[in-house]
Structures are given as C-alpha cells and as structure tokens.
Structure 1
Amino acid sequence: MIGVTSSPTLAVARREFAAYFASPLAAVFIVLFLGLAAALAFYLGGLFERGQADLQPFFAFHPWLYLFLVPAVGMRLWAEERKAGTVELLLTLPVTAWQAVLGKFLAGWALLVLSLALTVPLWMTISWLGEPDHGVVFASYVGSALLAGAMLAVSSALSAATRSQVVAFVASVVACFLLMLTGYPLVQDAVRGWAPAAVADAVAAVSFLTHFQAITRGVLDLRDVLFFVLTIAAWLAATVLILDPRRIRRSAALAALALGFIAIVGLSALLLRGARLDLTENREHTLSPATIALLESIDEPITLRLYFSERAAGDFPQVRAHAQRVRELLLEMAARSDDGLLVEVIDPEPFSDDEDRAVAQGLTAVPLPAGGTFFFGIVGSNTTDGELPIPFMQPGREAFLEYDVAKLVSALVVEDRPVVALYSTLPMAPAFDPALGAASSGWVVDQQLRELFDLRRLESGFTTIDGEVDLLMLVHPQGLSDDSLYAIDQFALRGGRVLAFVDPDAENAAADPLVGAVAGKRSSDLGPLLAAWGVDFDPTRIVADPEHALAVQTREDGPTEPLLTLLGLGATAMSQRDVITAQMETLNFSTVGALAARAGAGTRFETLVASSEGSGLLPTSLLGTVSATPANLLREFRAGGGARTLAARVSGPITSAFPQRDGDGHLSRSRVDLQAVVVADTDLLADPFWVNAAPGGFAEPFANNGDLVYNAVENLSGSADLIALRTRAVGTRPFHRVEALRRVAEQQFLQTEQALQQRLAELERQLAALRRGDDGAAALGAEQQAELLRFQQEKAQVRLELRDLQRRLNADIEALSTALRVINIVVVPLAVALAFLLAGLWRLRRRRRPAV
C-alpha cells in the first residue's frame, strides 16, 4: 500500500511501472522502438555504408522517433485517470500531488530509458567493426535519455489537461515538434521579424534539438544538462498546477512558471559558460594546455573581432551551428586569458560601416543566391598595430578551430619566431609556373612554414649555416658538396637541430639542375652524415607493403588495383608515445625508403612511422618503366624482414663525419646531444598526397602529412605550443574489420581479374584481326564465320565472369552488412519479444498455481 511505504513517490513509480508490463503495452513499445531505431540507422542513416565507427546516424533520428513514441507513453499518464475519475481518489491518498506526478513520470521515464538501454547491441556492433569514441557514444546516450525525459514531461502536462488520450497524444506531438523547431533558422527569422533580438535568443534557447545535438558532440555542458532538468521540472510543475483543483489563478501561475523557466535558462547560459565535462577521447572540445599556456603568455592585450552575418545565415543551419561553436571558443579563451584577450562580436549589416571595415580588413565577402554578401571571419589585432585576419571560418574545418584561432593569437604575440633554414631541391617555394603562365604560391607545406616560422632558404653550394638558425630542414638534399655536408655536420655538432627528408625515388624531383638536383637521378641521401648519426639508409631500395597499399586506377573505366609502393598508413603504424606522431591517424607515403639503427652507434634510434610486418623491399630499378604496373610490382614482391622504419627520431652524442678536417672552430665531437628527425620520403610533402583544393583558396587536408611536418618543426625548433592542437586535427574512425575484408578480397581476386582482363584484350585483338580480313562477317567463309561467332561468345563469357568477379569481390562485405542488419533490426527485437513472452507465461503459471 502507498500509505505504509517510506517513499510515496517510489511507491507510485513502482505501481505504474508494473502496470506497463501487466499488459503487452511495454513489450510492443520496446520492440517497436528497437526495430525502428536500428532500421532508420542502417537504411536512412547509412550506418554501415558510411564506414565510420560512430553512432551518429543512430542518434540523429532519436528526436523524430521520440516525437511520436514518447507521447504514446505519456498520453495515458493522466488522461486515463481523468476519464476513469480516479484522479481525485489518488490525490486523497497520503500522497501529495507532486509525489503522484513525479512517481508517474519516473515510471514512464524508466520505460523509455530501458528501451534505450536495450539498443546497446548497436554500440557493440560498431565497437566490433572499428574503434569508436566511447565517450561520445556515452554522452549521446545521456543526451537521448534527457531528451526523452523532457518530451515525457511535456506529454504529462498535456495529458493532465484532457480526458482523451487521443487529444493528449496529438497535443503532445505538436508541442514537442514546436519545441524542437524553435532553434531552426526559419522560426528564428520569423521571430526576429517582429521581436527584439533578446526575445529571439530566448526562443532559440528552449530548443530541444539544439541542446541535444550539443550533447551528442561528446560534451556534457552543464547548461545543456540543466536545460533538460529545468524543462522536466517546469512541465511537471505545470502538471501539478493543472491537476490540483484547489489552485486559484492557475493561468497566472502557469505564466509565471514559464517566465521563470526562460529567465533561469537565460541566466545559466551566461553564468555557467565553460562548466562542462568533455568526454571525447582526445578532449576535442577542451582548451589544450598549449592554448592555455599561450593565453597566459600574452603581455599586451589582443583583440579578436568575430564578424558574422547573423540574419544572412538564416538559410544555412550548418554555418549557424559552427558560428555558435566559434563564439563559444572565443569567449572561453577570453575567460582563460586574464584579460589578455578581448572578444567582440560584430554583425556587418549591408551597406554599414562594419561591412566596409570587414572588407578592408581582408575578410571574404561570400555572395548570396538572393543577393547581398555574407561574412564569417575573425580579425585579430594587437597594441602595436599588428593586424591579421582569418578570411572565412569554414564549417568543414571545425576540427582545426582551436588551432586556427591559437595560431592567429600566437602570430599577434610580439616575440621572435623560431628561425628555420630550409634547403630543398624540390619545387616547394613560390615561383613562376610556365605551365600556368602565372606565379605559383608553392606547396601548402611551404606556405604554412612561412606563416609560422622565420623561414630562410639556403642556396645551392652553401658552406655555412648562420648561428641564428634554430632548425635546419633538408628536403631531398641531392648533389651536396663536401663543404655543404661539412657545414651540416658542424651545425649538428654545435647543437643545431636537423629535420631531413631523404628519398630513394622522389616523384616530385625538380628537373632543373640549377636548383641543385642531379639530372636523371631521383634519389637523395646525406652521404656520410646519416652513418655518423647512427642511421642506415639504402637509396636503391623502396618499401612495398600490401597491408597498407592504396588502390589506384591505371586506366579509365578500369578496376582499381593496390599499388604496393603507395602507402596509406593508419594510427597503428605511428608511435603514440612521441609528440610528433601521437594521435595522428593517416599518413600517405610514396616510394618510401627504409631506415635502420646502425650497429654499434651511440645514438638512440626511435621509430616514428613503420610499415607492417608483412612488408618487403623492391629495387628502385623497377620504377619508371612501362612494366612498373601494380600487377607487375605485386608479382615481384616478396615479404620478409618484418616491419621497416619509415621515419625516426635520432638523439644522443655523435662524432664528426669528417674527422680528417681541422681548423678554427672545428668540432670532432658534439657539444650537446644531437636532436634530429629523419624521414625516408619526400613525396609526402607534395600537395596531392594530403590536401585537396577548396573554394576560397583554402586547402582541405585528408591526411596528417602536414601535421607530421609541422609537429616535427615545432618540436625541434623549440616551439611546441601548437603541437597538441595539430595532433587533434583528423578524426576519422574507419571500420577496420571491413577494410581488412576488402584487402583480403582484393589480394585473392587480383590475379584472376588480371588474367581475365588479359584474355579479354587478347580476344578483342583477335576479333579485330579477323574482321580486318574483309569488310564484314557476311563475306567470310563458313569456318571463319564460326570462328568469329566463337570469339564473340567467348568475349561475352569473359565479360560475364568479370562482372561476377566484381560481385564476389564485395560478397563478404555485403554478407557482413546483411548479417548486422538482421541481428540489430530483427534478431534483437525478437529476442526481447521472446523474453517478454516467457516472462508473461511464467507469471501466468504462478497465478494458476494453487495455493498451499
């Protein structure tokens, strides 16, 4: 009995929860939810086809599932009691209205949370396929549970206002739909058309969808959590007001409740900024220690002005969401800077002074389809009249947001930048491009180095290296004289740091020998220097690796084939203990060489990047010939020798590689330990291997090649503040199991496919030769006609076999996809249904058992 329990609220909750399972209602609801949620994720969300180990397609449909399923649960909370006339009876028991309302709500919410918890097999599925960010998944589950609770509280209040469950259901669907849409641009534009901006912001602040999506990023922001808690409390309070007949001035009380709710939500948005728990694996939404250290180093105030065309962005929800993220980051950085960083947000209205200033300061004016322009950029300035812009804040670069802003702040801090001396025989620098008939801006790597460091280029034949140089960067050092090599040797012995990119076959080698390259030769090394530093490198051998080989298409409309010398290396191929490669996920190398620790060396050799255990070596003589096809390289390949080091950090005491030399200032032993990084590839620096051109002159990275270079330069030059930001750039989480199946299938069917392609080409050649014998088949003899027919039939059969081979190539992946769909959409709901059925039969049997 409710009256004898110590907790009336829990007693009501237990009674209501048991009532759900006393009928098939709970079972039907849970099975329906499990089936629909999984089906939407797989078929509409493309959970498997995306190839990403996350549950974003699953949670994206939760608001719309809840829009109909939650009111189905909430409509009976009070409408049924009202219709049966039991509300007054319930309230006459030793239970307050609050206890009754809260108890019923907790029972319904428990049913919803149980339904959500039973979707864990989907979480297990993506964990089996790849390596998801479990913190993001957990936060999304929390957000989904809070969203369901908020919608149930709305349904509770509307159910209390009517005797009809149907009316309660429809009213709840409409109310929840409106509360989800309040943050949408169309609604915002309509509100801003007649109300002040403060009112529009207040309306946007009560959007269910906005707060839910913020949580699914993997961040439990106290403002978002508090919003849902306050929403639940406010609507349950409204339920109490509606149910209690003793309340007077009910409308005034409800209005006061609504205003109080909006006021508290608004204040929490201002006062609780930065109070959040970042559950992402790499703390992607938390200011890194490097950024905090940078902010604390600001001596003179720096001002960041965010120009964002608020009204013009109404039709671009993705841009608006990104703008909110940018605004939040800037304000958080300002709060951590101890007044060193000032932030201003400006809406450059058309034909205003703000618009003119935005253009004058270098921001990109994006033309809109309906006319006018749109601005979304940042201008930073310091007290010495230094001014730098970020012309346009691309939503696609959100993963780089903290780095981009920190880089801007770093550039405005008045201090000397590290000096990097660069010697390169590759066409990295800006120069006149005869093919384009215009100036080239150079490689992206070179552009970024010029922005971040004091970059000084060494000319061919250099014999000295300035003492101001913090880091010597060597890229494809071909044809160095002994004097140049000696200068490098002495620089390293004096404690200078070295970053060297050598290559057994540089595909981007400059053809002009005037820049230092040796005509006709595409390999490079450092002569005796690498040996003196404890590194072995053979410039006549390249690494081939089937496990990491990328697929290429050698002819138009032809199949893709794995090229053993073009490597796409994942996180498992990189050292996660070194700041240069930690947390990076993708590196693309081409015709890369192998490095090894030299026997008896006194230096420490640490592998940064390595091939797989199944790799091998191929001679460079195979390259640059017509026979250097993916198929021929595969035939020549022999695995052996285990994993090869492709990039390494070398440190420790060294001796001179030129012991025979002497003179003033000559060093035979190092004053301090050598600090160097050696990479056995130069092609990774070229744009095609890691960036795509994007509108507005931006470069969109698809691999971490640039991060490898920047991290190495920053680390070796002593400027490590931005390393942590760089290593958080790329966030793909592929289905490793699916990729492994695809690689195995490609290796199994490659030779068969090549044989069929060769047979098809031979048949086409024979058919062409036969037809050239006369003008057509009608003039051929009977034997020749039969031969022609046989060739045509065999050609059709070969084409059929090729199509079948392509189908079988993906058969295992398709079978896996089908199996996972069946398990999550059919098997799991049926298993739950069977469990409910067995539990029901067990309860029925207990009831029929005669009392003893």
Structure 2
Amino acid sequence: MRQVLSIARKELRAYFLSPVALIFLATFLFVALFVFFWVKPFFQRNLADVRPLFEWLPVLLVFLVGALTMRLWSDEQRSGTLELLLTLPVRTSRLVLGKFLAGFALVAVALALTIGLPLTVSWLGDIDWGPVFGGYLAALLLAGAYLAIGLCMSSATGNPIVALFLTIGACGGLYLVGSDLVANYAGNHLAEVLRLIGTGSRFESIGRGVLDLRDIFYYATLIGGFLFLNVVLLESKRWSQGASTRPRRSALKLSAGLVVANLLALNVAVAAVGGARLDLTERGEYSISPVTKKLLQGLSAPLVIRGYFSAKTHPLLAPLVPRIRDILAEYAALGGKQVRAEFIDPQESPAAEKEANEDFGIKSMPFQFSSRHEAGIVNSYFTILVKYGDKYETLGFDDLIEVKVTGMRDIEVKLRNLEYDLTRSIKKVVYGFKPLEELFARLAEPARLTFYATPQTLPENLRALPERLAKVAGELGRRAGGKLVFQQVDPSGPANQRLRRDLMQKYGIRPLAASLLAGESFYLHSVLTAGARAEPLFFAPETGEADLRRELEAALKRVAPGFLKTVGLVTSDPASPRPRNPMMPQEQQQPQPQYQLLQQRLGESFTVKNTPLRDGRVPGDVDALLVIGAENLDDKQRFAIDQYLMRGGAVIVCAGAYGLQLGQYVEGLSARAIDSKLEPMLAGWGIELQKKLVLDPQNEALPVPVERNVMGLTIREVQLLRYPFWVDVRSDGMAEGSPVVGGLQGVTLQWVSPLKLSKRPGVEVTELLSSSADAWTQESAAIQPDFARYPQAGFGQEASSGVGRQVLAVTAKGAFVSSFKGQANPLLAAGEGKDAAAVPSAVAKGDPNAGVIEQSLPNARLAVVGSADFVRDPVLNLSRQTGSDRFTGNLQLVQNLLDWAVEDVDLLSIRSRGAYARTLRPLEPAAQSTWEGGNYAFVALALGAIVALTLVRRRTLKPMALPGGATHRSGAGAGDAGPKEA
C-alpha cells in the first residue's frame, strides 16, 4: 500500500507542478458554474436543490476525464519510460492503482471546490442534503469508472490523441446506451436492460438520494474490471511472441475473459436484489412508509397489484416504468404470500387485454409524440390494478403522472406520489368500501336508476349504449334483491315538455345536438336517486360494461349513507352544484361554485355534502363540518355549528377579515371586508380573527398583466410581481410534530388575516401555521401595489404596522364552552325547537329544556385558518399561471385537516412526500447577482490559492544530484520520479 500511495503522491505532484491540474480544475469549475446559473438558470428555477450541477456531470466528465487520462500511459510508452517502470520491483497492479488514485484525488478536489453551490442553496432555502450527498457520491463513482476506462485506453496506444478518442468513445457509449436518446427507441423490457448498462441512468438513481446496492456494485465492477484489463494490457508489453510463452499468454487472456464474464454475471445476479438500498432523503421519499407496511402485513385475503404497461409507450413515460416495477415488487415482498405483484403487457396477450377491457374497464391511451426522427401517436397501456376479492381500484395515467412545464419547450414528467396512490387504493378496497349487498340492505327504500334516452334520434355510435346500460343495471338489480329499479324514459314529444323542463331545472340536463349541421337533438342521460339524494350521470359513447358497472357502483356508494366519511360543506355558494356534462357545449354549462377544485380533491376520500344549516341543525351523517367563506350567518346557522362542536364534532373554519372581490365590473385587484358572524364565537373559544391583513416579504409571486409599447405597438404580457399578500409559509413556519403539516413542503395563504390566541381551560391549542419573522400587518383593504409611494416593490411597511411573526392557522382540541351559554335557543325562539332531541343530562350543563349544550365533550376538535381565498378557484387558477405546483399544497392542507378532524391520520405521513419542490426565499435581482458573483469569486480565490501553493512548492524543491554534476528537479514528471519513491 505504501508503494501505491507513493506513486499517487508523485502523480499528484506532477499534476500540480504542471498546468494540468490548474487547467482541469478551472475548466471543470467554470463550466459547472455556467451550467448552474445560466444553462439551467438557478434563480429562474426557484428550487432549493443543486440538481443542475449534477445533471451535466455524466457528459462533462466524459471529456474532462478523457483529457486527464490520455497521457498517463501513452506518454510513458512514447517517451520510453514504460520499460523502466515495468522492470522495477513494483507490481504492475500497484502502478495502475497509484495512477488511478492520483486522478481520483484530482477529481475529488474539483468536486470539493463546488461546495459553495449547495451552501448557497442552504442559505437561500430549505435544501435536502440527502440528494446532495448522493450526487457527490455518484459523481465520484462515475469519475472513478471513467478514470479506469481512460487508463485502460491510454495503455492500449502510444498516441495520446488516439487514447483521448478511445476514452470519449467508450465512456460516451456507456452513457448514451442508457440515455433516453437510445432507450426510448426500444420497448420497455429492452429499455430497462439498456438503462441498467448505462452509466448516466445509474448516476441519476444515486443522485436523487437513493444508495442502491445494485448501482454501487455496478460502478465497482466497472472500476475493477477496467483496472484489471489495464494490468493485463501492461503485462502484455512484457510478453515475447515465442512458443515458450504461449501458454502464459493464453492463461492471462483466459483469466481476463473469465474476470469480465464473472463481473457481468454478478451484475445480472445482483440486479434481482431490489430491497438492499438506503434512502438518504430527509423525509424518506423513496422508502415504503410504516403505514403501508402495517397495511400490507395485516391483510386477511390475497391482494393482487397488477401493472398494465405496453412495451412501446411515450418516450417520457418509458423511464418511469422500471421505478413502478420496483415499487410493486417491494409491496409484494412486504406483503408476503398475501400480496401478488404482476406486470403484464396486454398488447402481447389477447386474453389479458380482453380481461382488462371487459372486467376492469382498462383501455389503452393514445399518446402523441415527436422527435427528430419520427412523429405520431402510440396507443399504450399505463394503468395499475389493485384487486382485493371482488373489489378493485384502477390507477390510470391521470392518477399516477404529474406533468410540469419547466421552460418554453421543457416538460418534466414524473410519478405524482406512487406510494400514496397505491396505499390509498389498497385501503379503499380493503376497508373503505363495504360489499354492495350491504349497501342495498342499508337503503330504506329502493334506489332508482332512470335512463333518459331518445332511441329514434340517437347517433349510430351511441345506439349500443342503452342496451349495455340495461344489461349492467339488470345484473346489479339481481344482486340488490329488489332494491334497485331500472327505468328507461323517452322525454321527447309534446307530452313530455314539463319533464324536459324539470330535467333542466333540477339537474341541468339538456338535449344534445346530433351534429353541428343537423337540426336533430337527442337525450342520453341517467339520474340515480336514493331517498332524498339524486345524482345525474353522464356516460361517454365508448363506455364499456365494466366501466358502466364501476361508475354505477361508485355512484350508489356516494348516494347511500355510511360508505365514505361525510364532510358537511358550508359556503356562500349555491347549495347544489351540478356535475359538468362533457357532451354539453361550454356556453350551456351552469355556473360552477367557487370551490370546485377543492370539492373535486376532497371527493377522492370523502363524500362532500353541501350543508346550508338553514334549519339550525347539522345532518346526522356529517362526520366533519367545513366552513369556508361563509358570510352573514344567522343565529340558527351559528347555533348549528356551535352545538355540533359541543356534541364532540369536528369543525374547520376557513375565514378571513377581507376577501378578494370578484365581479363583472371590478377592475384589477380589490378586496372587501367580510363579516361571517363567526368572529364572536371564535373569540369565545380563544381564537380571535383580527380585522387585518398579513404582508410578508417571504411570499409567492402574483402574475400581473403588463402593457409594453414597442415601436408604437402595445403588447400585453404577464409578469411575476412579488406580492406580500400571498404569504409563503415554509417548514420553519409550521408546527413541529403535527401530523397535519408534517408532510407539507409549503403552503401559500392568500389575503390571510392574523389570529390572536387566548388560553382557555381544558383546550389544547397548536399554532399550525405562522408567517416569517419579518411580516407586518395592515388594517385597510388596499391590496393594489402603490409604485408611487414604493417605487421598488410597490409595497412597504407603514410606521404603525408591527413587524413580527403572525399566527395564521391553529388547531384546538378539548372541552369548549358554548357561545350560546346562558342565551335563548334560536330554534326555540323561532318556534322550531319542539322537535329537538333531548340533551343527555351528563353533557348539558344548563337547562335541558332549553336544548343548549353548554360545554362540549373533551374530544371536540376545532381548526381555524385565517383565509378563505386560499382554496377559491379563481385564486388557485391565478397561482397556476406562475408555473408552480404550490397551489396543490393549499388543497392538501384542507385534506389533512379533515383527516385530522375525523381522526384518520394514517395516510397523512405519505400524502405529501415529494409532492412539492423546496423553493428559494424571495430575492431582489441585485441580491441574486451578488450570490452568483460570490460563487464565481470563491472559485477564483480557490484557484488562486492553488496557484500560490504550487509556486511555493516549486521554490522549495531541491535539485537532485545526477552523475556528471548535472541536476534534475524532483517531481518534474511521473515517469521520472515515480519509481524512485516506489
């Protein structure tokens, strides 16, 4: 080992005493900085990571390592010093290792000098250090593989230029074979093999923060294999070509072949080991959570997880398939005998494709793609089936994939949150949905499916749908035992004019045009009714029997009580939002409520029920009450909310003192004061909603239309304005240890009011969200930027506004005192209290005849967020225009609050993992330039220090005495000095 280190020191000395090291380091560092700040604009990306630094390393190192290694052995051969080295009492393997370690150390120094980039990111945002460590480790392993290849190629020729091209060809070929440029032209199976061979794809796996034994072993075999071949090539220089040495030559060649074959075989064997890996990410984004493990290990019946993926798919989807396969395999390993994971290409098996289509409604999707060589449409499968007994769930493209535009032409396609989607689906089929027979048994009266169709005017492609629907309804009716009645009605003709009017007024159902030019119209609508609940259904023309059955069962479970947790939604919107008919022209659509995006998201896990509370009561089937943006609530409505909380219920209030004013005649941004009448109630429970707005320098940008005059032409464009009313809450403003925000990366609260807390006995309060320490408040409703007073940003602090951290959202749990304690029951005052249920004496503290519960049970839950606009559709759509996905954090916050409210927090820990990017804190352009210049200055100073140390080292060298009185400076060349210390 001493000989190896001595040779490495001599090689390093030769690097630094010549311009080689300085040129290598300067080129590497300035190219890395240029890519980081300009090619992948760091501040424009606004992400707290160093991904751009590592993205280009596999390509950059090909050329730099090739230039570094091209002379290591070829110069020795050309100058004639190789013979001297090979005749010294030093093993050839030690010579090879010494040169390899010297090059490896030089690359390590180059990577170490980039440490300023992750440190800069850590100062500007909440960086995850796991992928950073993984990226540096991957870079070292990749550089080691390239160095081993470069040394091998340099020993094969005496011409450095030839060695350079051989190295670039070999390293570049290994990179390209696993890249999307090549793998996308192969099917899924061949593409997976190519990615296993490629150095770049392995690099990406480690760089995202996952240390996989297969990737480490791959790089180790590359390094070891090429270093061994390097030794064999050098040993071959000793060989004579006589017959006496032929057996030795043959044995060495055979040994080399066996070593290479064994390394390949070991890689193939290790490829099957999928669980030996270490997740370096802060939140374990690539590890199966304990919640999933517990669910899988507690299964009482076999669970099938089947992936339907075509060999030929969209180029951007192909790299995701191996990751999905690995996760399904992990689920199978964790579940043991009860979980079976399968991967099927339906297009290669007609029987499997027929089963997927008919039994599960799984169909191929058309994906349009284009490249330099071809453009077209590929029909492929991209679906996961989760089947437990006779119940199943499917996860399609829309459920699994998240598409994000990262530039003018750049599109990033990634898995949304595969573990959450899979585990949620498994939980649904195992626990969430009860057998359909139990559903029908719970119905007090038969459900009725009415199919409104006009057979005589149906287009040709729709005439088979009524027959399919009747068949499926008949099958369900037989299972229902008379609890499902199917009826087909023709609403055409003069006699049914009133029916058509009722369909329009109740459900928004209108006749559809048979074609753009023809005057005929037709009906093809269904309405499912169960008791007082009714839901219109719209089926696409291509809907098969499996899809019809699934949609009908899902609709039955929505209208039947007790199958999903029910959320009572209290807003100021119309009480009965109608589902959109995809076949109705846009102009004929009914106005949609302002919280439609939220309702759609909540509908994935809950039954959302609009609850006006006008009768002063919360329906008995409501599991949690969500009050958003409600205004001017009367006494009965407030009494209903109060008494629901007193009975141990869970109430979530999203309300602000001001809200965005929208209307046909409202220009620009305008806010108005909002009085929900809940403020006294909340204050009585220790949570005061202040009549102020919070402004924070840590905020999300607002897209603002701007007009520019270009040579007399007015151009309208959208620019991003730092907008302090859109408060950006990061992890440092979230409650530690709270399951509600434990998985969230960030939340943006628009036009939020601060909360002032007062301690109440028996109530435990948690400050859930808070602003930064530099936030301030204002009491006016002026939300427009004022560039006349504040030319730089349009906003500034008033002298009277206090600066400090503001509480924006809280949760509270305990025994609350009723706001109506000692007051008359509003229902009794209105003469409506005679039907009120008696209050148990153990709970009621006041007069039982009054029907007022004066103190809640100790398990009552209350959450308050100081804004209602943060989940309004117009505001979320505005946030979408910035190109960021942070608006989804607002929706997930409400989801998490509801899970906390109904005490179903199992999935909270995995719902938000990796869902949002870590963003940078707001910076002015001047500050951005300062940080960028600082990194360039740091690199320049580091290189200057290296030059200074090199000059000092040169001056301290002492000449060696040579025969004849000549002198020679030690360390002038590796070939001259290396053997002397060896």
Same fold at TM > 0.5: yes
Aligned to 2:482: none
- Amino acid corresponding to residue 205 of structure 2 in structure 1: A
Name which of 243, 251, 263 aligns with 2:234: 243
1:388 aligns with 2:394: yes
Q: Deviations over 1:306-355 (max 9, x none)?
A: 22233233xx2x42222222222222222222344332222343895555
Secondary structure of 2:172's counterpart equals: helix
Q: Is the 8 A contact 1:302 1:412 kept in 2?
A: no
Q: Deviations over 1:590-635 (max 9, x none)?
A: 3323322236665333221223455555456668999999999869
Distance 1:628 1:282, change over 3 A: farther
Which of 890, 894, 899 lines up with 1:714 in the alignment?
A: 899
Match of 1:838 in 2: 952
Q: Is 1:367–2:553 an aligned residue pair?
A: no
Q: 1:796 matched to which residue of 2?
A: none
Aligned counterpart for 1:126 among listed residues 121, 131, 134: 121
- Distance in 2, matches of 1:542 and 1:59, equals 42
**Match 2:138 to one of 134, 143, 163:** 143
Indicate how the Cα distance of structure 1 residues 7 and 249 shifts in structure 2: closer, same or farther if over 3 A, else same.
same
Q: Structure 1 pair 328/497, CA: closer, same or farther in 2 (3 Å)?
A: same
- In 2: Cα distance, 1:822 partner to 1:835 partner: 20
Deviations 1:261-317 (A, max 9, x none): 22211211112x12222222222212222333333343333322222233233xx2x
Q: Which one is further off, 658-667 or 580-589? A: 658-667
| 1:295 counterpart residue number | 296
Contact 1:509 1:522 in 2 (8 A): no
Residue 208 of structure 1 and its aligned partner are, at CA, apart by 0.7
> Pairwise mapping of residues 580-659 of structure 1 onto structure 2 (< 5 A)?
580-598=740-758, 602-613=762-773, 615-619=775-779, 638-640=800-802, 642-659=804-821
How far apart, CA to CA, are the structure 1 residues paired with 2:116 and 2:960? 32
Please identify, of 79-88 and 205-214, the stretch whose mean Cα deviation from structure 2 is larger.
79-88
Please give the per-residue CA displacement for 1:437-460, whole angstroms capped at 9, x wherever unaligned: 226596222112222124344243
Distance 1:844 1:549 in 2: 62
CA deviations 1:423-478 (Å, max 9, x no partner) are 33336974268984226596222112222124344243244445554322222343
Matching residue of 2:159 = 164
Q: Counterpart of 1:110?
A: 105
Deviation, structure 1 residue 61: 1.9
Partner Cα separation in structure 2 for residue 629 and residue 294 of structure 1: 59
Distance 1:541 1:340 in 2: 56
Contact 1:179 1:208 (C-alpha < 8 Å) held by counterparts: yes
CA-CA distance at 1:717 after TM superposition: 0.9
The share of aligned pairs that are identical, in percent, is 28
**Contact residue 743 and residue 913 of structure 2 kept, 8 A:** yes
Amino acid at match of 2:807: T
Q: Partners of 2:231 and 2:720 in 1: how far apart?
A: 66
User: Displacement of 1:846 after TM fit?
Assistant: 11
**CA distance, structure 1, for counterparts of residue 40 and residue 775 of structure 2:** 37
Aligned to 1:568: 728
| Alignment partner of 2:417 out of 387, 400, 405 | 400
1:648 is displaced (CA, Å) by 0.9
Number of matched pairs: 755
Give how far 1:168 is off: 1.9
Task: Report the alpha carbon displacement of residue 571 of structure 1 after superposing the two structures with TM.
Answer: 3.4
- CA distance in structure 1 between the aligned counterparts of 2:878 and 2:785, rounded to whole angstroms: 28
Specify which of 633, 641, 648 is matched with residue 488 of structure 1.
641
Question: What CA deviation, in whole Å up to 9, does each residue of 1:389-409 have, x standing for no partner?
Answer: 333432535353322222222
CA distance in 2, matches of 1:328, 1:280: 18
Q: Structure 1 residue 638: deviation in Å? A: 4.2
Mark the CA change 1:421 to 1:630 in structure 2 (over 3 Å): closer, same or farther.
farther
Give the residue type in structure 1 aligned to 2:389.
Answer: T
- Aligned: 1:412 with 2:429: yes
| TM-score normalised by length of structure 2 | 0.69
Q: Is the 8 A contact 1:301 1:383 kept in 2?
A: yes
Mapped partners of 2:43, 2:105: distance in 1: 30
> CA distance change for structure 1 residues 462 and 301 in 2, over 3 Å: closer, same or farther?
farther
Are 2:362 and 2:383, in contact at CA under 8 Å, matched by a contact in 1? no
- Are 1:181 and 2:176 an aligned pair? yes
Counterpart among 849, 860, 868 of residue 674 in structure 1: 860
> Which position in structure 2 is the counterpart of 1:219?
210
AA in 2 matched with 1:287? I
Give yes or no for the alignment of 1:277 onto 2:278.
yes
Aligned Cα root-mean-square deviation (Å): 3.9
Deviation at 1:383, TM superposition (A): 0.9
Counterpart position of 1:684: 870
Contact 1:125–1:820 under 8 Å retained in 2: no
SS at match of 2:817: coil
Give distance in 2, aligned partners of 1:429 and 1:257: 73
- Counterparts in 2 of 1:730 and 1:525: CA distance versus 1, 3 Å: farther
**Which 10-residue stretch deviates more, 685-694 or 109-118?**
685-694
2:588 to 426, 437, 448: 437
Seen in structure 2, the aligned counterparts of structure 1 residues 479 and 435 have a Cα distance that, compared at 3 Å, is: farther
Conservation of the 8 A alpha-carbon contact between 2:33 and 2:936: no
- 2:386 partner amino acid: G
Which structure shows the bigger proportion of residues in helix conformation? 1
- Taking the aligned partners of 2:173 and 2:231, their CA distance within structure 1 comes to 23
1:498 is matched with 651
Contact in 1 for aligned 2:632/2:677 (Cα 8 Å) = no
TM-score by length of 1: 0.79
**CA shift for structure 1 position 552:** 5.3
In the other structure, the counterpart of 1:770 is: none
Structure 1 residues 822 and 425: alpha-carbon distance in aligned structure 2, compared to 1, 3 A threshold? same
Match of 2:608, SS state, is: strand
Separation of aligned partners in 1, 2:147 and 2:402 = 34
Instruction: Name the amino acid aligned to 1:413.
Output: V
Q: Distance in 2 between matches of 1:255 and 1:199?
A: 25
Partner residue, 1:762? none
Secondary structure of the 2:211 match is strand
Residues 235-258 of structure 1: CA distance to partner in whole angstroms, max 9, x if unpaired? 112222323344315554444333
Amino acid across the alignment from 1:423: V
Q: Deviations over 1:472-518 (max 9, x none)?
A: 2222343444344333333322322221222323448999xxxxxxx
2:415 alignment partner, SS class = helix
Shift of 1:228: 0.4
Match of 2:451 in 1: none
The change in CA–CA distance for 1:500 and 1:465 in structure 2 (over 3 A counts) is same
- Secondary structure in 2 matching 1:386: strand
Q: Distance in 2 between matches of 1:820 and 1:573?
A: 29
Contact 1:586-1:703 within 8 A present in 2 as well: no
The alpha-carbon distance between structure 1 residues 49 and 455, as it changes in their structure 2 partners (threshold 3 A), is closer
Moved more, 57-66 or 245-254: 245-254
Is the 8 Å Cα contact of residues 588 and 703 (structure 1) preserved in structure 2?
A: no
Which has the larger displacement, 708-717 or 383-392?
Answer: 383-392
Give secondary structure in 2 for the equivalent of 1:422.
strand
Instruction: Report the residue type matching 1:269 in the other structure.
Output: A
* 477-486 vs 546-555, greater mean Cα deviation: 546-555
Aligned ranges 1:693-772 → 2 under 5 Å? 702-736=887-921, 739-740=922-923, 742=924
Q: Tell me, yes or no, if the aligned pair for 1:473 and 1:500 is still in contact at 8 Å.
A: yes
Where in structure 2 are there 5+ consecutive unaligned residues? 240-247, 369-374, 404-413, 433-562, 665-671, 709-715, 826-837, 845-852, 962-966, 970-982
Higher mean displacement: 673-682 or 393-402: 393-402
CA contact (8 A) 1:294 1:721 kept: no
